[in-house]
């Protein structure tokens, strides 16, 4: 009993330290490019965090998260350009449209599961891409859509200021996920994931809970998409490239599916991994793919869990030895 | 007469789709899992034929045989890498592994053959015109090759021991094991055969489109729609659905607009999933 509280206190200390170091990060990073990478890590962190909520906790294996992210970015960009709203309002617009679109795909698609859900969302991904091509007058087609950057009092924000914006969004996203996972919704969701028949027979409506989480995750991803578009000041059709899906999936798998913080660590690893090997331009997708397969083979619960397991085993082995010595 | 021509086009398109999707359906029947590297397998076939023709100077027949052998080996390798370690333990991981593999394979093509589109010369370069109908000989051959492949596949599945064990496993895994079928080997064989079928589709697609690292992806999306429409695991349904999809695509493309064809297919897919999730000819209530 005492030990658990001790553990909890340690964990709390760890979290506080983590938050503080994340807040102080711009003080230490002077290199603009590394700052950019950190921001991108946070952007993908939000996306995979929410994808993981539906995929790891909800058991809905869909690949629509990136498409919803793109919807957020495009809709916010279109509204900013056509209706002259500010990019800050664009964040909200992106979220709302991503949620609306997720409702359109979620209403029919979440009635089915497994392979059907994968296929439907994959087709949906391509459908969104086709639509973007179709309306190229307002989306910019393959040239991309130019989106104004964030401003405050008429001055364009610096990267370190934008870092706090995306960090806030990431924090909201993580907190939201944490609350969902701990609440009745999360419990229901995990029950559905483990056996939807059993969940259904205990009075949980799988469809309702799945849809709720799916739309919520879409909203946050949409906001992240709007941030992404405004931050890079352009969003193009390469957002639909398959590599992005593989990378994001890799982040989840490497960090550990169905864990709260794992995917973000995965996002960090993949983003910087891509950068470290930037000299190997063409070989990067092969490396990422190979890493995904290797992790699936040797650490199916993700690197964090696997590391924990190894650490525990190593610790307990040492203990056993010392006990043996005492005897 | 316009309509007659469109039907001919749909028939040509449909036969390639049938080849591209029947392997997917076959795998689903046996493994109950989705192989996302199927598109990369289609590209693989196209590249092997192109390479044999252009760089090795093979005749079409030898290129074809080389492609069949290479595809079969590739299929067994895919099974060994992505199915064997995860089968019956974690089905999601099979899917993720094949996704990763497809990304790896596309990039390998990119590095080995370059990103530029390659032109594959057709088997016969000639145009046939009968009244308002016109088609290249290559396209007519496509229909013939598809028909021939399907007949051979049907024969293998119905008459040979391997084919019977494939069908047995796809009907009942446990029953198959109990009657002494080596399911392990059936999985490998099935993936080998499915990859061969994908390779043939790639060979036929090559002269029509260009050969490029990602050429297999859009046929794979079509194949997904087709297997859902036809019912996963039902080969008859898959073939019929391939022609339906091609017909819809050609008609919508002609009368409404080319860009609307994918949207239309998507709507059809949603309708099918809502009102008839097992597909037109699928068998429902089997463990998915």
Chain B within 8 Å of A123 (Cβ-Cβ)?
Answer: yes
Residue A225 within any structural domain of the chain: yes
pLDDT for B285: 45
CA angle B171, B172, B173 (to 5 degrees): 125
What residues in B contact A302, CB-CB < 8 Å? none
The SS3 of residue A106 is: helix
Q: Which residues contact A107 (CB under 8 A, 6 or more apart)?
A: A211
Residues A132 and A149 in one domain: yes
Residues A102 and A172 in one domain: yes
B263/A116 touch (CB, cutoff 8 Å), yes or no: no
Chain B within 8 Å of A314 (Cβ-Cβ)?
Answer: no
Whose tokens are 């996306």? That residue is A47
What residues in B contact A297, CB-CB < 8 Å? 85
pLDDT for A2: 45
Residue A27 within any structural domain of the chain: no
Residue B73 reports pLDDT greater than 90: yes
pLDDT for A6: 66
User: For chains A and B, what is the number of CB pairs under 8 angstroms?
Assistant: 107
Residue B86 within any structural domain of the chain: yes
Q: Is B59 exposed, middle or buried (0-12, 13-18, 19+ CB in 10 A)?
A: exposed
- Tell which residue, B38, B6, B13, B2, has the closest CA to residue B195: B38
A112/B277 touch (CB, cutoff 8 Å), yes or no: yes
Mean pLDDT (chain B) is 85
Residues A227 and A103 in one domain: yes
Q: How far apart are CA B46 and CA A288, in angstroms?
A: 25
CA-to-CA dists, residue A192 to A55, A189, B99, angstroms = 12, 5, 25
Domain count, chain A: 2
The SS3 of residue B76 is: helix
Residues A235 and A250 in one domain: no
Do the Cβ atoms of B71 and B231 come closer than 8 Å? no
Residue A296 within any structural domain of the chain: yes
At A152, which helix (H) or strand (E)? strand A151-152
B107/A286 touch (CB, cutoff 8 Å), yes or no: yes
Residues A138 and A284 in one domain: no
Residue B131 reports pLDDT greater than 80: no
For residue B74 the two structure tokens come to: 């590739």
As for the ipTM of the complex, it is 0.80
Domain extent for A227: 41-240
Searching chain A, which residue's CA lies closest to the CA of residue B223?
A: A119
Residue B85 reports pLDDT greater than 60: yes
For residue B73 the two structure tokens come to: 């080996």
DSSP-based helix, strand, coil % in chain A, nearest 5: 80, 0, 15
User: H helices of A29-64, where?
Assistant: 32-52
Residues A226 and A77 in one domain: yes
What residues in B contact A282, CB-CB < 8 Å? 107, 110-111
Residue B274 reports pLDDT greater than 80: no
pLDDT for B282: 67
Residue B268 within any structural domain of the chain: no
Q: Is A183 exposed, middle or buried (0-12, 13-18, 19+ CB in 10 A)?
A: exposed
pLDDT for B243: 92
The beta-carbon neighbor of A285 closest among B28, B104, B217 is B104
What residues in B contact A300, CB-CB < 8 Å? 90, 93
Which one is predicted more confidently, B263 or A68?
A68
Q: How far apart are CA A282 and CA B185, in angstroms?
A: 35
Residue A105, min C-alpha distance to chain B (Å): 9
For residue B2 the two structure tokens come to: 């316009």
Taking residues B193-199, report their average pLDDT: 93
Residues A234 and A246 in one domain: no
Domain extent for B131: 18-214
| Residue where a domain stops, chosen among A240, A265, A296 | A240
Taking residues B33-38, report their average pLDDT: 86
What residues in A contact B102, CB-CB < 8 Å? 242
Q: Is B208 exposed, middle or buried (0-12, 13-18, 19+ CB in 10 A)?
A: middle
What residues in A contact B104, CB-CB < 8 Å? 285-286, 289-290
Residues A300 and A263 in one domain: yes
The beta-carbon neighbor of A120 closest among B99, B108, B273 is B273
Residues lower than pLDDT 50 in chain A: 1-2, 327
Chain A within 8 Å of B220 (Cβ-Cβ)?
Answer: no
The SS3 of residue B26 is: helix
Searching chain A, which residue's CA lies closest to the CA of residue B104?
A: A286
Where are the strands (E) in B75-159, listed by range?
Answer: 127-130, 133-136
Whose tokens are 């029509």? That residue is B208
CA atoms within 13 A on the CB side of B93: 25
Residue B186 reports pLDDT greater than 50: yes
The beta-carbon neighbor of A293 closest among B33, B101, B214 is B101
Residue B199 reports pLDDT greater than 90: yes
Residue B288 within any structural domain of the chain: no
Residue B225 within any structural domain of the chain: no
Neighbours of A275 (CB within 10 A): 14
Taking residues B132-158, report their average pLDDT: 87
Do the Cβ atoms of B175 and B287 come closer than 8 Å? no
The beta-carbon neighbor of B104 closest among A109, A116, A289 is A289
Residue A201 within any structural domain of the chain: yes
Residue B244 within any structural domain of the chain: no
Chain A within 8 Å of B177 (Cβ-Cβ)?
Answer: no
Residue A5 within any structural domain of the chain: no
Do the Cβ atoms of A74 and A145 come closer than 8 Å? yes
Residue B208 reports pLDDT greater than 60: yes
- Torsion of Cα atoms, B32 then B37 then B38 then B40, to 10°: 180
Residue A112, min C-alpha distance to chain B (Å): 8
What residues in A contact B106, CB-CB < 8 Å? 242, 285
Residue B199 within any structural domain of the chain: yes
Chain B within 8 Å of A124 (Cβ-Cβ)?
Answer: yes
pLDDT for B43: 93
Residue A65 within any structural domain of the chain: yes
The beta-carbon neighbor of B274 closest among A108, A245, A249 is A108
pLDDT for B287: 42
Residue B1, min C-alpha distance to chain A (Å): 30
Whose tokens are 């001790």? That residue is A6
| Region at B88 (left for phi over 0; alpha for psi -120 to 50; beta for the rest) | left
Residues A73 and A109 in one domain: yes
Residue A104 within any structural domain of the chain: yes
Residue B284 within any structural domain of the chain: no
Residue B167 within any structural domain of the chain: yes
Chain B within 8 Å of A195 (Cβ-Cβ)?
Answer: no
User: What is the share, in percent, of chain B residues with pLDDT greater than 90?
Assistant: 25
The SS3 of residue A288 is: helix
pLDDT for A326: 54
Q: How far apart are CA A53 and CA A66, in angstroms?
A: 14
pLDDT tens readout for residues A122-173: 888 888 888 888 888 888 877 888 888 887 777 777 788 888 889 999 999 9
Do the Cβ atoms of A229 and A147 come closer than 8 Å? yes
A159-182 and A32-52 are packed helices; what angle lies between their axes, rounded to 10 degrees?
Answer: 20
Neighbours of A59 (CB within 10 A): 23
pLDDT for A321: 58
Residues A56 and A150 in one domain: yes
The beta-carbon neighbor of A120 closest among B34, B108, B269 is B269
Q: How far apart are CA B69 and CA B49, in angstroms?
A: 11
What residues in B contact A115, CB-CB < 8 Å? 28, 33-34, 232, 288
Domain count, chain B: 1
B130 beta partners: B133
Residues A145 and A249 in one domain: no
pLDDT tens readout for residues B223-256: 888 888 888 778 888 899 999 999 998 888 888 8
**Pairing assessment for the beta strands B133-136 and A145-146 based on DSSP bridges:** unpaired
């Amino acid at each position: 009993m005492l030990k658990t509280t001790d553990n909890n206190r340690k964990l709390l200390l760890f979290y506080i330290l983590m938050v503080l170091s994340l807040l102080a990060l711009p003080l230490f990073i002077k290199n603009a490019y590394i700052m950019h990478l950190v921001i991108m890590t946070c952007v993908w962190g939000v996306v995979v965090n929410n994808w993981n909520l539906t995929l790891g906790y909800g058991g809905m294996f869909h690949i629509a998260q990136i498409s919803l992210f793109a919807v957020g970015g495009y809709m916010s960009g279109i509204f900013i350009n056509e209706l002259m709203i500010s990019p800050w309002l664009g964040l909200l617009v992106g979220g709302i449209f991503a949620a609306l679109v997720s409702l359109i795909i979620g209403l029919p698609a979440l009635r089915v599961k497994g392979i059907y859900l994968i296929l439907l969302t994959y087709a949906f991904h391509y459908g969104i891409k086709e639509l973007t091509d179709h309306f190229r007058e307002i989306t910019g087609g393959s040239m991309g859509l130019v989106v104004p950057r964030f401003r405050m009092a008429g001055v364009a924000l610096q990267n370190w200021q934008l870092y706090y914006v995306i960090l806030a969004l990431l924090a909201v996203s993580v907190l939201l996920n944490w609350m969902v996972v701990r609440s009745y919704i999360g419990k229901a969701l995990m029950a559905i994931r483990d056996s939807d028949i059993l969940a259904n027979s205990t009075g949980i409506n799988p469809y309702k809970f799945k849809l709720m989480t799916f739309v919520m995750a879409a909203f946050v991803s949409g906001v992240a998409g709007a941030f992404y578009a405004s931050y890079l000041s352009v969003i193009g059709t390469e957002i639909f490239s398959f590599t992005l899906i593989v990378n994001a999936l890799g982040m989840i798998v490497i960090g550990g599916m169905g864990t709260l913080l794992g995917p973000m660590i995965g996002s960090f690893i993949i983003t910087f991994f891509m950068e470290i090997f930037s000299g190997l331009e063409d070989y990067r997708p092969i490396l990422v793919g190979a890493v995904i397969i290797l992790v699936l083979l040797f650490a199916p619960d993700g690197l964090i869990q696997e590391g924990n397991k190894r650490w525990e085993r190593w610790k307990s082995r040492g203990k056993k030895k010392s006990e043996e010595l005492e005897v | 007469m316009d309509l007659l021509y469109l039907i001919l086009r749909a028939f040509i398109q449909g036969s390639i789709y049938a080849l591209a999707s029947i392997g997917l359906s076959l795998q689903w029947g046996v493994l109950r899992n989705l192989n996302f590297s199927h598109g990369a397998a289609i590209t693989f076939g196209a590249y092997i034929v192109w390479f044999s023709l252009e760089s090795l100077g093979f005749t079409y027949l030898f290129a074809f045989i080389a492609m069949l052998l290479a595809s079969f080996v590739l299929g067994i390798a895919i099974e060994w890498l992505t199915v064997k370690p995860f089968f019956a333990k974690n089905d999601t991981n099979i899917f993720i592994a094949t996704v990763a593999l497809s990304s790896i394979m596309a990039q390998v093509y990119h590095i080995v053959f370059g990103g530029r589109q390659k032109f594959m010369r057709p088997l016969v370069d000639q145009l046939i015109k009968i009244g308002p109908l016109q088609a290249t000989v290559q396209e007519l051959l496509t229909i013939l090759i598809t028909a021939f492949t399907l007949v051979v596949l049907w024969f293998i599945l119905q008459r040979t021991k391997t084919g019977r064990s494939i069908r047995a496993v796809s009907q009942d895994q446990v029953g198959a094991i109990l009657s002494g079928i080596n399911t392990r080997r059936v999985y490998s064989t099935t993936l080998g055969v499915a990859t061969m079928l994908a390779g043939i589709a790639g060979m036929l697609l090559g002269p029509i489109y260009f050969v490029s690292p990602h050429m297999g992806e859009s046929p794979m999306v079509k194949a997904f729609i087709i297997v859902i429409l036809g019912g996963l695991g039902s080969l008859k349904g898959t073939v019929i659905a391939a022609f339906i999809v091609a017909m819809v695509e050609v008609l919508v493309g002609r009368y409404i607009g080319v860009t609307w064809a994918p949207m239309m297919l998507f709507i059809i897919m949603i309708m099918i999933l809502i009102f008839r999730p097992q597909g037109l000819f699928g068998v429902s209530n089997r463990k998915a």
